[in-house]
Amino acid sequence: MSAQDIKEGIQYALAFATAGAGTSFSIKSFIPLPAIDAVPQALIIKTMAHQLGQVYGYSNLKGLTIFTGILTGSGSGMKVASELASLVPIAGASANAATSFALHMTTGISLIIVFELLQQKVISTEYIRNTTTSDITFLLGLASQVLADVLRGNDGIESTLTAVAKFKVPSTPTA
């Protein structure tokens, strides 16, 4: 666990979230159709996951792309809601940009938390392939708290370490 890794990870997440927001705003400003930006957003998130994985040495982790997709899909309710505003000039594009930013950041921060937990050996790589809905919900809640702290100007490293400490080890099913 390294404060430098967390700092670098948050910087990557911020950069990719900003790119996602800008992409969403640009596309939606010119073509205000629902979900028109889905493919570019997916590519940005996939690239972000790979970059964050490289920071921690997990870029080739089996199941990372699927896990990232599950995280993104689970947090995409707000993005779907913002699609309703797509037809409203400027306001629709702005709403989509804001929700794209939040979605990218919560996904990125969730991955940082998971990579930190992997490094601490709190979870194994099997967690990536066998995560449950309640695990994802809890993880996204922790990431949302970190995002709120970062947006308030608080230390992202300290907030991430607090989220890692709050993580509950998933229960293993018994036969």
The series of mean pLDDT values per 10 residues for the chain, 175 residues long, is 86 89 83 76 90 92 90 70 61 81 91 94 90 88 93 92 85 49
Which among 97, 70, 69, 72 is positioned nearest to 83, based on CA atoms? 97
Spatial contact of 13 and 112, defined as CB atoms under 8 Å apart: yes
pLDDT at 89: 65
What are the Cα distances from residue 164, in Å, to 40, 99, 146? 30, 24, 10
> Residue 94 and residue 28: Cα distance in Å, rounded?
9
How many helices and strands, by DSSP H and E, does the chain display?
8, 0
The C-alpha R_g of the chain, in whole angstroms, comes to 16
pLDDT at 110: 94
124 secondary structure, DSSP code: -
pTM comes to 0.86
Sign of CA dihedral 130, 1, 13, 49: negative
pLDDT at 175: 43
